[in-house]
Amino acid sequence: MAETKYIFVTGGVSSSLGKGIIAASLAKLLQARGFRTTIQKLDPYINVDPGTLNPYEHGECYVTEDGAETDLDLGHYERFLNVNTSQANNVTTGRIYQSVIEKERRGEFLGKTVQVVPHITNEIKERIQILGKKKEYDIVITEIGGTVGDIESLPYIEAVRQLKWELGDENALVIHLTLVPFLSAAGELKTKPTQHSVKTLMESGLKADILVCRTEHELSDDIRRKLAIFCNVRQEAVIQSIDAPTIYDVPNLMLKEGLDTVTLKKLELPDETTPNLEQWNKFLDRHKNPKAEIRIGLIGKYVELQDSYKSILESFIHAGAENEVKVIVESIHSEFINENTIKNKISHLDGVLVAPGFGERGIEGKIDAVQFARENKLPFLGICLGMQMAVIEFARNVLQLKGANSTEMDEATKHPVIDIMEAQKNITHMGGTMRLGAWDCHLKEGSTIYNVYGKHDIKERHRHRYEYNNKYKEQLEKAGMLSTGINPETGLVEVVELKDHPWFVGVQYHPEYKSTVASPHPLFVAFVKAAYEHSKNKV
């Protein structure tokens, strides 16, 4: 194909309708037809990236292979497409303005007054086309965050209007995702919010080519006809997106609705193949028809918002399907774990995962959870901070190093078994300065972790400032906490495991970022398998 085609996904009426899932589902269908497809997210907030945001604000911060801290929707893109994203796949208003201001300071605008139009919109258009100009993709889908009508979204909508005019109708289209609410008092679906949303979009000079309507009830032909007439789209382009039991059902629902077919028609692309979803549907079949179920405790401090640990929860779905078991995740707030409550909260579980995080809140509860898992031979997986808590717990209770801690929690600790990395000591800026992205790790042959991966050398994604302190390595290993994964460049410990435990692994990296439907992460697969074995052996 000579030219890259562009699809823009906007949202109206309400936030959280699932633009990311619709974009990922359409991309999956196009990919399954043989088109090289990628997705990017434009976020209207002024943060340069979500790296400094509290998870309660914006859900988890997802990290790409090249070390970009991005919106969690990029996790959906990778999980659906099994293709790595990068810095170019997530753009924020903060990054746009930062770039334009830096250009102005360098004198690149030749003394002109810098304005939203054309300078900010030109920058947005450039960012949208970066992936397309690489000649690696046939189709680039761009999800625009926020809701049409928001002040912060206006420059993006204007940039899309210009770009659509420049590229031509056959090379770009707009999918508008809206809500068709059901009023129980009237007993009917209401189209007016969608009509107003499309009108708002048109006031900005942008016409919706396809309407995707989120709904709890089936859309009748009459409602589809009404939406088509009043929203100025073809009736075949009114797509129903009904509530589904799982997000992984959505590609099949969109296939049934013909979203891919109408998209190809509008972009004047060949519609000669049917999507090959064989592997996808095998996964769905295993996910929906488990042969057993297990309970895993997710010990964290942001558990009130499920999106805080989105990638971990999705990784359990992938690993559960691979093992043909249903993984019931019990979210347990670490602040509420203590010696009086721990048995009641954890003893019935088949495995414990201590989640990543930052700061000292809830730390002692995480340490208590690690101790319970260690002493009661409960399968355990510690991720990032969870691995560090395992080291601290072992140092305190096995090595008897009183007050052992991380300098993140206690700068004056006598036993800093976890300490800030040397490269991080003089950093004053918080954003984008951690150890980020994919790093090499060499695994010790014969270890649990080596058996998980089946190879010596792996590459996993990181997001942290503090590390295992190698000054305590000899003591810890002698007592039974083995260092079985080492970064060859820095000598830093990446993986710890216990010698006398059925399955106890802590990793400094984030395996959840690399788990996809097509490639469930082997560490989650092995952990779920260990938890299943434990469940079978319980009295």
Q: Is 366 known to sit in a ligand binding site? A: no
Q: Is 178 known to sit in a ligand binding site? A: no
Residues with Cβ within 8 Å of 380's Cβ and at least 6 positions away in sequence, in order, are 351, 352, 353, 354, 370, 373, 374, 390, 501, 503, 504, 505, 506
Distance from C-alpha of 339 to C-alpha of 371, rounded to nearest angstrom? 11
Calculate helix-pair angle for 310-323, 522-537, nearest 10 degrees.
60
Q: The tokens of 377 are what?
A: 């031979």
| H-type alpha helices, 348-472 | 363-375, 385-397, 448-453
Q: Is 386 known to sit in a ligand binding site? A: yes
Q: Is 162 known to sit in a ligand binding site? A: no
Q: Is 32 known to sit in a ligand binding site? A: no
Q: Is 385 known to sit in a ligand binding site? A: yes
Nearest to 56 by CA among 74, 80, 72: 72
Q: Is 319 known to sit in a ligand binding site? A: no
CB 461 within 8 A of CB 63: yes
Q: Is 443 known to sit in a ligand binding site? A: no
Q: Is 18 known to sit in a ligand binding site? A: yes
Handedness of CA 19, 23, 24, 29 (dihedral sign): positive
Nearest to 322 by CA among 271, 359, 263, 279: 279
Q: The tokens of 328 are what?
A: 């019931």
As beta bridge partners, residue 113 has none
Q: Is 193 known to sit in a ligand binding site? A: yes
**Annotated catalytic sites, by residue?**
384, 510, 512
Nearest to 91 by CA among 73, 115, 117: 73
Strand 435-443 with 481-486, pairing: antiparallel
Q: Is 17 known to sit in a ligand binding site? A: yes
Q: Is 194 known to sit in a ligand binding site? A: yes
Q: Is 522 known to sit in a ligand binding site? A: no
| H-type alpha helices, 106-149 | 121-133
Distance from C-alpha of 207 to C-alpha of 259, rounded to nearest angstrom? 17
Residues with Cβ within 8 Å of 250's Cβ and at least 6 positions away in sequence, in order, are 18, 21, 22, 24, 25, 241, 244
CB 534 within 8 A of CB 325: no
Q: Is 155 known to sit in a ligand binding site? A: no
CB 406 within 8 A of CB 418: yes
Q: Is 49 known to sit in a ligand binding site? A: no
Q: Is 389 known to sit in a ligand binding site? A: no
DSSP sequence for 234-269: -GGGEEEEE--SSGGGHHHHHHHHTHHHHHHHHTT-
Q: Is 390 known to sit in a ligand binding site? A: no
Q: Is 56 known to sit in a ligand binding site? A: yes
Q: Is 244 known to sit in a ligand binding site? A: yes
Handedness of CA 123, 129, 133, 134 (dihedral sign): positive
SS3 (DSSP) at 412:
coil
Q: Is 5 known to sit in a ligand binding site? A: no
Q: Is 191 known to sit in a ligand binding site? A: yes
CB 283 within 8 A of CB 517: yes
SS3 (DSSP) at 385:
helix
Residues with Cβ within 8 Å of 532's Cβ and at least 6 positions away in sequence, in order, are 292, 294, 323, 325, 350
CB 508 within 8 A of CB 464: yes
Distances from the Cα of 165 to the Cα of 139, 175, 231, angstroms: 17, 16, 20
Q: Is 408 known to sit in a ligand binding site? A: yes
Distances from the Cα of 86 to the Cα of 23, 174, 213, 274, angstroms: 17, 23, 30, 29
**Which residues define the annotated binding site for ATP?**
16-21, 73, 244
**Which residues define the annotated binding site for Mg(2+)?**
73, 143
**Which residues define the annotated binding site for CTP?**
15, 150-152, 190-195, 226
**Which residues define the annotated binding site for L-glutamine?**
56, 357, 385-388, 408, 465
**Which residues define the annotated binding site?**
15-21, 56, 73, 143, 150-152, 190-195, 226, 244, 357, 385-388, 408, 465
**Which residues define the annotated binding site for UTP?**
15, 190-195, 226
